[in-house]
Amino acid sequence: MQERTALESQIKAIGEISGELADLSGLADMAEEEGDAASADDVLELIKALAARAATAETEALLSGEADANDCYLEIHPGAGGTESNDWAAMLLRMYLRWAQRRGYDIEVIDQQAGEQAGVKSATVKITGFNAYGWLKTESGVHRLVRISPYDSNARRHTSFASVWIYPVVDDAIEIEINESDCRIDTYRSSGAGGQHVNTTDSAVRITHVPTGIVVACQNERSQHKNRATAWNMLRARLFERELQKREEAAAAVAASKTEIGWGHQIRSYVLQPYQMVKDLRTGVESPSPDDVLDGDIDKFLAASLAQRVVGDAA
């Protein structure tokens, strides 16, 4: 039913775009015949907006992977560099949350560790909406920031790194077997703002899957039972994503770039000083407006990386 709904939505969107294009073509002919420059300009703007919708529909047509339609988890971890990197991680978190809000997706903070002075030490967010994983799945990797540090009294230029990890929420239709004897479960006190009950009991849960080294944590609920259930779901999702990676490696006969996130694997650079530019190092797509990108305007980067991935899989 979900697949049928998705296909119907795509067919409807293509039909609407085709119809509106035919109408605009007629209006453009009328404006040209009447020499109405103002109307011609209006039609041109409408065509540009329609082209943007067509580009989005084209990208969504690429989202046909096994878990593309699913919700997703977003994890962000700062690299070395203390406060500077923590702040960069917080900036990236805001960028993705703004993007999700623009698309009308729901957001739930699963786990967030605040930095000592600013930013975040780590953050895990669940993004709920159709094709959430499909849109964001190519964002896993290292993101690099170059700017004049607001935390440096000498106003020197700093380079910071943060890693992003995207993995799908696994629904009940996908079976993932986990041997509980392979897992270590730790409980600890939440590190939230405090209040009644919060921070007074060991309600936060961390699960370590020993064979793979995967670690998940949840502390957003007051109940340890609920946090434990969420953590198990996150672990299932991580193991499922790991299996997807193995399949891609076998098909492409190359190591997946997301298996290890290191400083040599940065996928995008955000330069605020000495010039302004955001560049994706995989696709070459650039934007001279980093403020817009950091405010969530990342669709053209997502579309380019998804198209490149499809071409690579076909090859």
pLDDT category at 259 given cuts 50, 70, 90 is very low
DSSP string, 26-90: HHHHHHHHHT-HHHHHHHHHHHHHHHHHHHHHHHHTT--STTTTS-EEEEEEE-SSTHHHHHHHH
Q: What is the pLDDT of residue 260?
A: 43
Amino acid at position 257, single letter: S
On average, the pLDDT of the chain sits at 85
Q: What is the pLDDT of residue 2?
A: 66
Average pLDDT over residues 227-241: 89
Q: What is the pLDDT of residue 76?
A: 95
Answer yes or no: is pLDDT of 19 > 80.
yes
> In sequence order, which residues have a C-beta less than 8 Å from that of residue 77 and are 6 or more positions away?
89, 121, 122, 162, 163, 165
Q: What is the pLDDT of residue 106?
A: 95
pLDDT category at 174 given cuts 50, 70, 90 is low
pLDDT category at 312 given cuts 50, 70, 90 is low
Q: What is the pLDDT of residue 127?
A: 96
> In sequence order, which residues have a C-beta less than 8 Å from that of residue 65 and are 6 or more positions away?
134, 137, 244
Average pLDDT over residues 3-17: 81
Q: What is the pLDDT of residue 175?
A: 67
**In this predicted model, which residue has the larger pLDDT, 281 or 13?**
281
Tell me the pLDDT tens digit for each residue of 122-173.
999 999 998 899 999 999 999 999 999 888 778 788 899 999 999 888 765 5
Q: What is the pLDDT of residue 101?
A: 96
Q: What is the pLDDT of residue 261?
A: 44
Answer yes or no: is pLDDT of 245 > 70.
yes
Closest CA to 2 of 136, 167, 139, 174: 174
Percentage, residues of the chain above pLDDT 70? 87
**In this predicted model, which residue has the larger pLDDT, 202 or 163?**
163
Distance CA 230, CA 248 (A): 27
Q: What is the pLDDT of residue 5?
A: 76
Tell me the pLDDT tens digit for each residue of 98-129.
999 999 999 999 999 988 888 999 999 999 99
Percentage, residues of the chain above pLDDT 90? 44
pLDDT category at 264 given cuts 50, 70, 90 is low
Q: Supply 162's token pair.
A: 């943060």
| 3-class DSSP state of 23 | helix
Average pLDDT over residues 193-213: 74
Q: Supply 206's token pair.
A: 């961390």
Tell me the pLDDT tens digit for each residue of 47-101.
988 888 888 788 777 787 778 888 999 999 998 778 899 999 999 999 999 999 9
Its pTM stands at 0.70
Query: Burial letters for 70-82: b for 16+ Cβ neighbours within 10 Å, e otherwise?
Result: bbbbbbbbbbebe
Average pLDDT over residues 199-213: 84
Q: What is the pLDDT of residue 164?
A: 94
* Cα distance between the two ends of the chain: 31
